[in-house]
């Protein structure tokens, strides 16, 4: 095992990797419950999506661990699943089978741009200042996820400024405009209080340099939540018949992309050709830059992608570097997920929790994948861990990653503007690729007006144009 994963070379141990894998798992396991809720709004069978989510996560994460030997986990991406449901299916009018076909095509495109080195050329084209901003911005983004998941925020909406998307108000998604105002809760909510307790425990453990501090914080907070009524252990039950039926239901979405609706109807109408193309581009842009942002934001800070790996990325042929292999693993996962019945599978930013817990090799990913596989049977137990227990872990990881922002030259307004927009939009828009988009566009504008057009890398300029086209198209379709 040491030889295969190069544990000694990476300064880690089996125990540390297993703790890191468990930490990543608990930080992102919410996806197996949230993803089916979002995608089922399109008419997809919820049980089938539940199983498809686990399969896509397990296969993608195993491939990442065994092929790339890096501690990243993959799963259907938050934001990408919302785009799949509320934009592609609801706003643009695609059937869910057709939307899955678009995701599959997106995966094939990602494979091609990875094999042809376009993806790593994009990474080389990103200026250092934006790379620092992406790293720090992801830290802020992760912390914001933790703050929100920990019930520390409440939002006030003006009457008549929101709508429900769903069959009933109880299970609907609320879409609000800019009148939604966030505020700190008044701490009568037990979940918010538990989050604060968990944050204090986790910070203390980290300050005392306790091994496995983040995972221990999650476990301790979960246990404390039992007498507080936040950790609900009353719903733990096992119905083998129900479990078997749920697993079998995945056949309803598996390879549904090849039917009609699906590929059989996607290209029947020539009038929809432009719509199909621009939707594929939108999927690919989001998927590509979510992954690149995660790797840049976490891999270089932790040393997973070191100077030697960066040199191999730039000068090597084939899959010479770990990042080459990681990018390929990520691109494969999207198409696999679509085959089984879920939206874009991407590298999870919550992997940073496991990395901060000491994960440095693919053994971390293998551990995470095995735990997700167990969820096919043990989901009732896993669901016991409340969001308030994992929220503190995400907050402290965000704190650790924020130091990248200190490397930005904030005294230089020309450099600070793109960096600031990258970090802030990424966080508040709840979307890594949108933050990168604003950073790219702002960088190009700054260089254009200062007469430094030659400093704009063609790939960065081209990506900025594609982002602008995407924003314009989505605006027109939502009029």
Say yes or no to pLDDT of 211 above 90.
Answer: no
Say yes or no to pLDDT of 194 above 90.
Answer: yes
For 85-144, the pLDDT digits (tens) are: 988 998 889 999 999 999 999 999 999 988 888 888 888 899 999 999 999 999 999 999
Are 57 and 63 a contacting pair, CB within 8 Å?
no
Section 328-339 average pLDDT = 94
Say yes or no to pLDDT of 167 above 70.
Answer: no
Sorting pLDDT into bands at 50, 70 and 90, what band is 416?
Answer: very high
* Confidence (pLDDT) at 345: 96
Q: Count CB neighbours of 37 within 10 A.
A: 16
For 236-286, the pLDDT digits (tens) are: 777 777 778 888 999 999 999 999 999 999 988 877 888 899 899 889 988
* Confidence (pLDDT) at 54: 97
**Does residue 162 or residue 202 have the better pLDDT?**
202
Sorting pLDDT into bands at 50, 70 and 90, what band is 174?
Answer: confident
Lowest mean pLDDT among 21-25, 185-189, 305-309: 305-309
Are 348 and 75 a contacting pair, CB within 8 Å?
yes
Average pLDDT, the chain: 90
Say yes or no to pLDDT of 315 above 70.
Answer: no
Lowest mean pLDDT among 61-75, 312-326, 437-451: 312-326
* Confidence (pLDDT) at 246: 83
* Confidence (pLDDT) at 314: 66
Of the candidates 245, 337, 330, the one whose C-alpha atom is nearest the C-alpha of residue 53 is 337
Section 392-405 average pLDDT = 92
Are 138 and 353 a contacting pair, CB within 8 Å?
no
Q: Give the end-to-end CA distance of the chain in Å, rounded to a whole number.
A: 56
Of the candidates 429, 380, 337, the one whose C-alpha atom is nearest the C-alpha of residue 51 is 337
Separation of CA 408 from chain center: 24
Lowest mean pLDDT among 296-310, 332-346, 432-446: 296-310
Say yes or no to pLDDT of 171 above 70.
Answer: no
Both tokens of 401, joined, read: 């990653």
Both tokens of 342, joined, read: 């879920």
Section 361-386 average pLDDT = 93
For 219-234, the pLDDT digits (tens) are: 999 999 999 999 998 8
Can you give the length of the chain in residues?
Answer: 479
Of the candidates 43, 138, 25, the one whose C-alpha atom is nearest the C-alpha of residue 84 is 43
Section 326-349 average pLDDT = 94
Sorting pLDDT into bands at 50, 70 and 90, what band is 477?
Answer: confident
Say yes or no to pLDDT of 298 above 90.
Answer: no
Are 50 and 57 a contacting pair, CB within 8 Å?
no
**Does residue 162 or residue 397 have the better pLDDT?**
397
Q: What does the H/E/C string look like for the chain?
A: CHHHHCCCCCCCCHHHHHHHHHHHHHHHCCHHHHHHHHHHHHCCCHHHHHHHHHHHHHHHHHHHHHHHCCCCCEEECCCHHHHHHHHHHHHCCCCHHHHHHHHHHHHHHHHHHHHCCHHHHHHHHCCHHHHHHHHHHHHHHHHHHHHHHCCCEEEECCCCCEEEECCCCCCCEEEECCCCEEEECCCCCHHHHHHHHHHHHHHHHHHCCCCCHHHHHHHHHHHHHHHHCCCCCCCCCCCHHHHHHHHHHHHHCCCHHHCCCCHHHHCCCHHHHHHHHHHHHHHHHHHHHHHHHHHHHHHHHHCCCCHHHHHHHHHCCCCCCHHHHHHHHHHHHHHHHHHHCCCCEEECCCHHHHHHCCCCCHHHHHHHHHHHHHHHHHHHHHCCCCHHHHHHHHHHHHHHHHHHHHHCCCCCHHHHHHHHHHHHHHHHCCCHHHHHHHHHHHHHHHHHHCCCHHHCCHHHHHHHHHHHHHHHHHHHHCC
Q: Count CB neighbours of 280 within 10 A.
A: 17
Both tokens of 72, joined, read: 């990243």
Name residue 347's beta-bridge partners: 74
Sorting pLDDT into bands at 50, 70 and 90, what band is 25?
Answer: very high
Q: What percent of the chain has pLDDT over 70?
A: 95
Q: How far apart are CA 31 and CA 345, in angstroms?
A: 11
* Confidence (pLDDT) at 20: 96
* Confidence (pLDDT) at 168: 63
Of the candidates 32, 84, 36, the one whose C-alpha atom is nearest the C-alpha of residue 61 is 32
Q: How far apart are CA 215 and CA 24, in angstroms?
A: 9
* Confidence (pLDDT) at 64: 97
Say yes or no to pLDDT of 478 above 90.
Answer: no
**Burial, 176: exposed, middle or buried (Cβ in 10 Å; 0-12, 13-18, 19+)?**
middle
């Amino acid at each position: 095992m040491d030889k295969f994963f190069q544990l000694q070379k990476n300064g880690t141990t089996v125990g540390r990797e297993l703790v890191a894998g468990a930490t990543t798992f608990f930080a992102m396991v919410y996806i197996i419950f949230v993803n089916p809720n979002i995608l089922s709004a399109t008419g997809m069978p919820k049980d089938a999506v539940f199983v498809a989510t686990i399969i896509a996560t397990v296969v993608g994460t195993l491939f990442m661990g065994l092929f790339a030997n890096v501690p990243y986990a993959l799963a259907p991406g938050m934001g990408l699943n919302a785009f799949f449901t509320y934009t592609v299916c609801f706003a643009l009018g695609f059937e869910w089978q057709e939307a899955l076909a678009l995701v599959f095509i997106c995966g094939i495109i990602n494979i091609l741009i990875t094999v042809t080195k376009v993806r790593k050329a994009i990474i080389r084209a990103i200026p250092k200042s934006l790379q620092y901003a992406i790293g720090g911005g992801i830290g802020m983004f992760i912390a914001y996820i933790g703050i929100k998941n920990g019930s520390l925020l409440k939002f006030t909406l003006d009457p008549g400024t929101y709508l429900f998307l769903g069959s009933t108000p109880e299970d609907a998604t609320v879409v609000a405009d800019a009148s939604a105002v966030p505020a700190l809760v008044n701490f009568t909510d037990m979940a918010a209080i538990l989050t604060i307790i968990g944050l204090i425990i986790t910070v203390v453990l980290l300050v005392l340099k306790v091994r496995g501090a983040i995972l221990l914080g999650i476990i301790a907070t979960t246990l404390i939540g039992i007498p507080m009524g936040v950790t609900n252990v009353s719903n733990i039950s096992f119905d083998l018949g129900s479990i078997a039926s749920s697993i079998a239901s995945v056949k309803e979405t598996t390879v549904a992309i090849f039917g009609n609706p699906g590929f059989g109807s996607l290209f029947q109408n020539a009038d929809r050709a432009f719509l199909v193309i621009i939707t594929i581009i939108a999927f690919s842009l989001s998927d590509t830059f979510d992954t690149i942002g995660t790797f840049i934001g976490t891999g270089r800070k932790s040393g997973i992608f070191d100077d030697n790996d960066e040199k191999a990325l730039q000068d090597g042929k084939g899959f010479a570097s770990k990042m080459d292999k990681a990018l390929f693993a990520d691109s494969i996962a999207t198409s696999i997920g679509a085959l089984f019945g879920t939206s874009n599978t991407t590298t999870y930013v919550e992997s940073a929790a496991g990395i901060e817990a000491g994960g440095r090799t693919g053994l971390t990913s293998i551990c995470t994948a095995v735990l997700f596989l167990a969820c096919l049977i043990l989901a009732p137990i896993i669901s016991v861990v409340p969001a308030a227990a994992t929220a503190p872990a995400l907050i402290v990881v965000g704190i650790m990653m924020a130091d990248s922002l200190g490397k930005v030259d904030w005294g230089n307004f020309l450099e600070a503007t793109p960096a600031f927009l990258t970090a802030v939009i990424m966080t508040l828009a709840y979307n890594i690729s949108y933050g990168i988009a604003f950073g790219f566009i702002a960088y190009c504008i700054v260089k254009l007006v200062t007469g430094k057009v030659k400093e704009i890398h063609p790939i960065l300029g081209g990506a900025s144009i594609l982002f602008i086209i995407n924003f314009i198209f989505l605006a027109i379709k939502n009029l």
